[in-house]
Amino acid sequence: MSIATLPKATAATLTNPRYVPVLVTFGLFLAMFVAGGLRYEGFFSGQIILNAFIDNAFLLVVAVGMTFVILTGGIDLSVGSVVALSTMIAASLMAGPGWPPYVVVPLVLLIGATLGAVMGFIIHVFEIQPFIVTLAGMFLARGLCYTIGTDSIKIDDPTFTAFAQTQIDLFAGLWISPSVLIALAVVAVGAYVLHYTRLGRSVYAVGGSEQSALLMGLSVGRTKIAVYTISGFCSALGGVLLSFYMLSGYGLHAVGMELDAIAAVVIGGTLLTGGSGLLIGTVLGVLVLHLIQTIISFEGTLSSWWTKIFIGLLLFVFILLQRVFSMRRPRRSP
């Protein structure tokens, strides 16, 4: 490509319907960050951004799994309950029998992935709407929490607490937690799978048109089971990261987290109908949600319920944008 054609190619990339929603989210994030920095003293700092990852590492991991599901045109309402169940299983096993974390954590991840695989299997084999199956999974996982215990279970395992309280110093007084590195690793692996593997291509194909994916010879059933397995695994891992953050297991942890994860994915530009979206958009969606909470906290005069109001308004805007872009997208000839 010659230098003369570079501006034209860049403009075509930026106006590509696939990237426009992500660019809109990035612009919104920058506008909120600059506005917060101009209005509030101490807001315009790198640690504010890093705090978004520190405080939402578990949500980011859960949102990655939700992105896989929504890209196929599905939905997973069980993620918040699986997160809570994971905290309860981890806390009870370490507090009661005294199992070591290196045994408990893999067990929790296996349980989460298995729950997701079972839901994906039921959705595919019995052709039941994902909303119904994952709603049942949500009640099941939340109910299992209370069979373990109704009170909060403190985690005081020395290895677990030492890891949870570790700070990784960067530069200029900035720091992150190990959970941030885990969350970013999940994002990187998820992006690689979506864009450089057969499974990733199948995820986009199934979300674009399940019938077309079948005609192309893709294994739609295997893909559906895989994405719900990934979502269950990410939910369990999110529960482990939440256990690091809270140092406890509780049946009421992560109430409504499934809605936060869906909101982050949609604000990040992923179509609810499937087939279009990027994981970097999901990361930006989580950052936008955190900035809303941070701005309200800095304001000091607004109730925390305003967070929900602003998120609701943003969802309306981005859903309308999705509709506009989908209507403007040219149809492919058969």
What are 116's two structure tokens?
């997701």
Taking only the tens place, the pLDDT of each residue in 275-301 is 889 999 999 999 999 999 898 888 877
How far is Cα 134 from Cα 235, in angstroms, rounded to an integer? 13
Is 319 contained in some domain? Answer: no
Q: Domain range for residue 148?
A: 51-255
Distance CA 333, CA 90 (A): 52
pLDDT in tens, 210-257: 999 998 989 999 999 999 999 999 999 999 999 999 999 999 999 999
Burial class (CB in 10 A: 0-12, 13-18, 19+), 319: middle
The Cα 82–Cα 119 span in angstroms is 12
Q: Are the C-beta atoms of residues 146 and 90 closer than 8 Å to each other?
A: no
CB-based burial label for 290 (10 Å; 0-12, 13-18, 19+): buried
Report yes or no on whether pTM surpasses 0.75.
yes
pLDDT of residue 333: 36
Residue 299 domain-assigned?
no
Question: Does the residue 206 lie in any domain?
Answer: yes
Q: Residue ranges of the chain with pLDDT lower than 70?
A: 1-17, 325-334
pLDDT of 147 reads 95
Looking at the structure of the chain, the number of domains it has is 1
Task: For residue 56, tell me if it sits in a domain.
Answer: yes
**In contact, 44 and 295? CB cutoff 8 Å:** no
Domain for residue 227, yes or no? Answer: yes
- Whether 321 is in a domain gets the answer no
In a domain, residue 16? The reply is no
The DSSP code for 248 is E
Q: Is residue 34 part of a domain?
A: no
pLDDT of residue 1: 43
Pairing between β-strand 248-249 and β-strand 153-154 as defined by DSSP bridges? antiparallel
Q: How far apart are CA 86 and CA 134, in angstroms?
A: 17
